[in-house]
Amino acid sequence: MISLNTLLPILVFCSISLAVWAVLTIVLGDRKRGAEDRLRRIMAPGTSRKEAEHARSQKQEKFQEQVTRAANKLGQTLRPTDEQQLGKVRIQLLNAGFRNENAVAVFFGVKLILMSLFVAIVFPIVAIREGMTTNAFTYSAMAGGLGFYLPGFVVDGRKKRRSEDIFLGLPDALDLMVVCVEAGLGLDAAMRRVTSELSSSCKTLCEEFAISNFQLQMGRPRKDVLRDLGVRTGVDDMRSLAAVIIQAEKFGSSIGAALRVQSDALRLRRRQFAEERAAKTAVKIMIPLILFIFPGVFVVLVGPAGIQIANTLMAK
């Protein structure tokens, strides 16, 4: 009868071989397709590069759809049944830019897939070294936990980057909105103008404005659209901006003046944010200075003197 110690190296070898084969298939397949595309363009000059890129994007979309479908099926089992908890997860994903209706199920499906993958990789390796001991199961459980919580860390990081992009681009967008409103445009037309003018410099903010413009065109009340904009972005400044615009419309005050005051406040906050980061730079640079730069300088300065002292002591 084959023992477990004999079977584990075979399983590890098979898993590593399959992983290497999959990576090589993807890499070499992409290179082969790239060579075929170049030969096709040479043989048929009428075929443009845009068509090749469109075909490649279609293949990537099909692959993403397959992965999304598999993760969606797996994530249905882990999807929270509590509506409050489900709403929190959905808002977190919305703040990170994931707006698909199946985003929650895909999120938990990716968690389950990564947990299983990390356990499948770590358990055979640890079992060969440690044997079927408590440490092997402990390390495997830690790897599974890391794989389970890794998508949450990725979503939090993406949410933080998007919030920072919106915060940094919002003063410029408000300045342009003030100019548009004071020139005679309505708020909806001003938002469309901001979306078209700042699409390259403030891409994340313009995406959110484009969604709000679409909702307004579909007939939703402006009050609900602005509130959803604040919730969807997850930025406090955007929530306060939505509240200011709603109050200005409710009481009949000038929207341009309200936007100007909000723009000045946001520009001041952005300047303070930049000053705060500049002040932190001097402290953060001390870590690489002490770990990497100071030892080299110490060796260059003290090294020759140390060598002379060692030669003198050895001569005596």
pLDDT of the residue at 1: 46
23 & 136 share domain: yes
User: Is residue 9 domain-shared with residue 155, that is, in the same domain?
Assistant: yes
Confirm whether 104 is domain-assigned.
Answer: yes
246 band by pLDDT with thresholds 50, 70 and 90: confident
Q: What is the pLDDT of residue 92?
A: 85
Per-residue pLDDT tens over the stretch 124-137: 777 777 667 777 77
Whether the full predicted model's pTM is greater than 0.85, yes or no, is: no
Q: 46-105: per-residue pLDDT in tens? A: 555 556 565 565 655 565 565 566 555 655 566 666 677 777 888 888 888 888 777 777
User: How far, in Å, are 6, 8, 130 from residue 3 at the CA level?
Assistant: 5, 9, 15
- Do 179 and 245 share a domain, yes or no? yes
Gap between the terminal Cα atoms of the chain: 70
Residues 146 and 238 in one domain: no
Q: Is 155 found in the same domain as 18?
A: yes
Q: Does residue 214 share a domain with residue 82?
A: no
Domain interval for residue 15 = 4-159
Highest-scoring range by mean pLDDT, 20-24, 156-160, 291-295 = 156-160
Tens-digit pLDDT profile for residues 250-262: 887 788 888 888 8
* pLDDT above 80: residue 224: yes
Please give the helix or strand (H or E) that residue 184 lies within, else none.
Answer: none
Query: What's the confidence (pLDDT) of residue 50?
Result: 58
Nearest CA to 176 out of 140, 202, 139, 214 is that of: 202
Residue 299 lies in a domain: no
Count structural domains, the chain. 2
